[in-house]
Amino acid sequence: MNYYIVTTEIFNTLTKENISYMLKSLDNTKRLIATTDTVSERVRRFNNIDTCSSYTFTNHSDWVGDGTGVETWEIEEIVYLPGIDD
């Protein structure tokens, strides 16, 4: 699995069926995704799920806004459904 932050514009071009997790940034300009695809046009790439999760805790004001972050289990278990709240 690959973990990225991409712009909304790039997200809109990706194959949604290959995305297993997606979270919108609070300002709605970026998407945190887990995908089987390799994305060359990205804002940030994470080496693994743990660094991805850790990033959201460090930068919580961009992603959750409540002083917490996204746990690894959330990325693993919350399934992205294409077309719902893209």
- 10 is a domain residue: yes
- 21 is a domain residue: yes
Per-residue pLDDT of the chain (86 residues; tens, 9 = 90+): 999 999 999 999 999 999 999 999 999 999 999 999 999 999 999 999 999 999 999 999 999 989 899 999 999 999 898 877 66
- 6 is a domain residue: yes
Say how far apart CA 5 and CA 42 lie, in whole Å.
Answer: 6
Q: What integer pLDDT is reported at residue 23 of this predicted model?
A: 96
Q: Which residues lie below 8 Å from residue 13, measured CB to CB, with a gap of 6+? A: none
Q: What is the pTM of this model?
A: 0.92
Please tell me what DSSP assigns to residue 46: E
Cα 40 to Cα 8, 37, 61, distances in angstroms = 14, 10, 26
Containing structural domain, residue 31: 2-77
- 40 is a domain residue: yes
What domain count does the chain have? 1
- 7 is a domain residue: yes
Q: What integer pLDDT is reported at residue 83 of this predicted model?
A: 74
- 82 is a domain residue: no
Place of tokens 């514009």: 9
